[in-house]
Structures are given as C-alpha cells and as structure tokens.
C-alpha cells in the first residue's frame, strides 16, 4: 500500500484529499470522491502492527466545488469578453504597480502585445507626455498617483509616443479598489484613444486663429498705402498659421512674360536671379497662372505637371500650394506656400482668403490711382477752357 512503509517508519499518518474512486454500492459503479486517512496502529510492543483507514465520502462537496469553479470560469470568460468589447484600453495593477490584466485595446494603444504587458510595470519603449508636452515620469502617471493616494483621477489627457515613433493622444481614468485598511489594493485604468478627436479640436482651433488673422489682414489692407508692407505681413501670417516654411508673394508681368518674387523666402539656388519665365511647365506659379486654377502638389519628388527644382526636394520640402492673387482686370500673381508636410483643401481655403485680401488692397489702391488720374485730367481740362 502506498506510504505504508513510511507510516511504519515515522509512525505518522497520511491523508489524501478527494481521491477519485469507482465503487459499486449495490446499484452499479459510481464515481466517488473520498478523503482517505491512514493512521498507524501500535501494539503492546510499541510496534506498528497495522493501519487504520478512514474513508469520508466528499463526492457532493467536490462536485459543488467544481460547479463553483466552472461558474467562476464562465464568469471570468464573460467579463473578459465584456472587457474586450468596451472599446477602451483596460489595465489592472496590483499594489506594487504591476499589471495583472490588460485587454487587447490597451495593447493596441501602447503598440505592444497584451502578453508583454502582463507582469510588467508598463509598456517598454513608450514615452508619456502631459497635455502641455512635458515628459511624464513613471511615478507621475495616473495609476501611480492613484495607488499612492488611493484616490481616483478622471479625464487626464496625455500623449503617448510608442516605440516605433508613432503618437497617440489618450484620455485616462484611474480608479482605486480600496482595501479595509484604506489603501489601494488594485488600480483599474481605462484608456481611450482620442487621437482623432484631438486632431479635430486642433484643426478647429487653428481655423479660428486663421479667421482672426484674415480679419486682421483685412483691417490692415484698408489702411495700407504700401503694398510691400501688406505683402510682408501676409507672408508672416501664412508661415505662422499654415505650418509653411516658405511663403511667397509672386507678381506676374504678362507683357514681359515673367514672374518675380515680391515678398517671402526665395528657394532658388541662384539668389541673383530676380525673375523666371512664366512658362506653364517651368514652375508651379507659371502653371497656376496658365490654367487659372489653384494647385496643390503633395509629392514634389514625383511631380510631372511642372518643373520642380532638385534642390527644393533635396532640402526636404515635400509639398507646395498656390492660389491666384486677384488684380485689376487680370490676376496680380500667385500666393505660394512650401512645406515639409502636406497641404489640404482646408489649407487652400486659408491661402485663398489671404490672397483675396491682397487682391482687394491692390484693387482699392488702383481705384484710388484712377480717381486721382481723373481728377488731374479734369483739372487740366478746366485750365485749358479758362485759357481759351
């Protein structure tokens, strides 16, 4: 019998819990579970002469425990399905800050596998920043604060930079599970990817600033008697609010078939060149004038509609946008922007608004010159009549 020798040698009993056995108690074989106790029987000579075996039927208890375990397992599986379906990242940390649960959404937000999060303090290679762009140390993240102070934090916005360099904006809630001693035993952290919403908010805020800037340009244009000063302010405004690195006001001289930069940064390698031909294939400005349309090129390296100077691409510039500047009887020229990023149709709307402000100022000053010319002609006519 198993353990009999050891029982004799040590005179110590052995207990086996929930031993599975098949017994026939008169109605056929049954699957039973027994607690078995083996105890030594010591005779008058202080020798172990036999064993006392005690059997306790614990079948119902074992079956109940297994039903409970199955129910718990099913409950955990249901909860896991719920956690995976809530559309938010979910992390559970113990009192040491170690992650003991992470759902798939959390892993996607951090850009790692969920398995690598379990048992760690956080995703490897992920850098956190506050909403203002300040790097966030590990002890300052919401879950750490909640663990330390046993209080919940809600609606904490932050930026995550993943190991691959991509960035995600998040809204974080950290809620403690407080024990009887008042300290946090666990922290449940929910993380929602708000990148798209943040970008939309940023675009709306930018459009509002652009509208304010256009209104200010319009005010300046009404008082402007110096176009060059207005051109310079327009260049500064576009560079600041469009994310452009080079904005240019380009004037067209149809009679001379050439275009020249009136204000802004020149990208030409030879800075002694004051003008280039207005050939449609020779530049984006020439193409814009020839076709009378707005143009966006977000892939200068592969542009085929017009010539792109090689040093522009080598300088890291990726995109250009051009719109016509209205003038008296014909377009005055082109307002152009160059960037290392890309331009959108919304960007074109802002650029067009700035060009229209310049056009209105040009038309206003031209009208003033016409009135002055007519007044001078009338004065000469009046002098001639009196002389006659």
Domain locations in the chain as residue ranges = 4-67, 87-193, 217-374
Composition of the chain by helix, strand, coil, percent to 5: 40, 30, 30
What's the average model confidence in pLDDT over 105-117?
90
Taking CA atoms, 36 is separated from 4, 57, 182, 354, in Å, by 13, 9, 43, 92
Provide, rounded to the nearest whole percent, the portion of the chain with pLDDT above 70. Answer: 90
Distance between CA 232 and CA 263 in Å, rounded? Answer: 6
Backbone angles phi, psi at 16, to 5 degrees: -120, 125
Of the pLDDT bands very low, low, confident and very high (cuts 50, 70, 90), residue 191 is: very high
Averaged pLDDT score across all residues of the chain: 86
Distance between CA 128 and CA 148 in Å, rounded? Answer: 19
Place domain 87-193 in its CATH homologous superfamily: PAS domain (3.30.450.20)
Q: Is residue 57 predicted with pLDDT exceeding 60?
A: yes
Distance of CA 43 to the CA centre of its chain: 82
Q: Is residue 192 predicted with pLDDT exceeding 90?
A: yes
Contact 300, 323 (CB under 8 A): no
Q: What is the pLDDT of residue 268?
A: 53
Distance between CA 193 and CA 170 in Å, rounded? Answer: 5
Domains 4-67 and 217-374 share a fold: yes
Provide, rounded to the nearest whole percent, the portion of the chain with pLDDT above 90. Answer: 44
| CATH architecture label of 4-67 | 2-Layer Sandwich (3.30)
Lowest mean pLDDT among 82-86, 218-222, 317-321: 82-86
Distance between CA 94 and CA 143 in Å, rounded? Answer: 10
Domain 217-374 has CATH 3.30.450.40: yes
Q: Which residue in 76, 79, 104, 73 sits closest to 90, CA to CA? A: 104
Q: What is the pLDDT of residue 274?
A: 67
Instruction: For 297-310, write each residue's pLDDT tens digit.
Output: 999 999 999 999 88
- pTM summary value: 0.64
What's the average model confidence in pLDDT over 370-378?
76
Q: What is the pLDDT of residue 48?
A: 74
Q: What is the pLDDT of residue 266?
A: 66
What's the start-to-end Cα distance of the chain, in Å? 150
Task: Give the up-direction half-sphere exposure of residue 7: CA atoms within 13 A in the CB hemisphere.
Answer: 19
Lowest mean pLDDT among 49-63, 195-209, 353-367: 49-63
Instruction: For 264-276, write each residue's pLDDT tens digit.
Output: 876 555 555 567 8
Query: To which H or E segment does residue 16 belong?
Result: strand 14-24
Contact 173, 189 (CB under 8 A): yes
Q: Is residue 176 predicted with pLDDT exceeding 60?
A: yes
Q: What is the pLDDT of residue 366?
A: 78
Instruction: For 25-46, write each residue's pLDDT tens digit.
Output: 778 888 888 888 888 887 777 7
């Amino acid at each position: 019998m198993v353990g009999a020798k050891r029982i004799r040698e040590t005179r110590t009993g052995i207990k086996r819990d929930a031993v599975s056995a098949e017994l026939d108690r008169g109605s056929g074989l049954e699957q039973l579970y027994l607690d078995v106790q083996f105890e030594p029987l010591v005779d008058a000579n202080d020798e172990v002469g036999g064993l006392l075996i005690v059997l306790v039927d614990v079948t119902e208890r074992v079956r109940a425990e297994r039903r409970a375990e199955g129910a718990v397992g099913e409950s955990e599986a249901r909860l896991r399905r719920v956690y995976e379906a809530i559309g938010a990242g979910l992390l559970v940390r113990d009192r040491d800050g170690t992650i003991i649960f992470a759902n798939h959404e959390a892993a996607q937000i951090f850009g790692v596998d969920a398995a690598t999060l379990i048992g760690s303090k956080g995703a490897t290679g992920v850098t956190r920043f506050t909403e203002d762009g300040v790097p966030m140390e590990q002890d300052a993240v919401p879950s750490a604060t909640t663990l330390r102070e046993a209080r919940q934090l809600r609606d904490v916005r932050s930026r995550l930079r993943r190991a691959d360099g991509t960035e995600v904006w998040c809204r974080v809630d950290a809620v403690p599970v407080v024990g009887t001693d008042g300290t946090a035993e666990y922290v449940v952290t929910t993380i929602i990817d708000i990148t798209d919403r943040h970008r939309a908010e940023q675009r709306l805020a930018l459009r509002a600033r652009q509208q304010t800037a256009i209104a200010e340009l319009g005010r300046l244009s009404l008082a402007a008697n110096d176009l060059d000063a207005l051109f310079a302010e327009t260049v500064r405004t576009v560079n600041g609010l469009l994310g452009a690195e080079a904005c240019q006001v380009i004037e067209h001289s149809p009679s001379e078939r050439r275009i020249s930069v009136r204000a802004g940064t020149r990208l030409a390698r030879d800075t002694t060149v004051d003008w280039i031909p207005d050939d449609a294939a020779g530049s984006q400005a020439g193409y814009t004038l020839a076709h009378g349309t707005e143009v966006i090129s977000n892939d200068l390296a592969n542009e085929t509609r017009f010539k792109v100077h090689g040093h522009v691409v080598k300088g890291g510039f990726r995109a250009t946008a051009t719109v016509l500047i209205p003038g008296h009887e014909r377009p005055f020229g082109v307002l152009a922007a160059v960037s290392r990023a890309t331009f959108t149709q919304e960007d074109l709307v802002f650029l067009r608004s700035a060009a229209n402000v310049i056009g209105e100022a040009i038309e206003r000053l031209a009208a003033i010159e016409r009135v002055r010319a007519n007044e001078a002609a009338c004065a000469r006519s009046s002098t001639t009549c009196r002389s006659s």
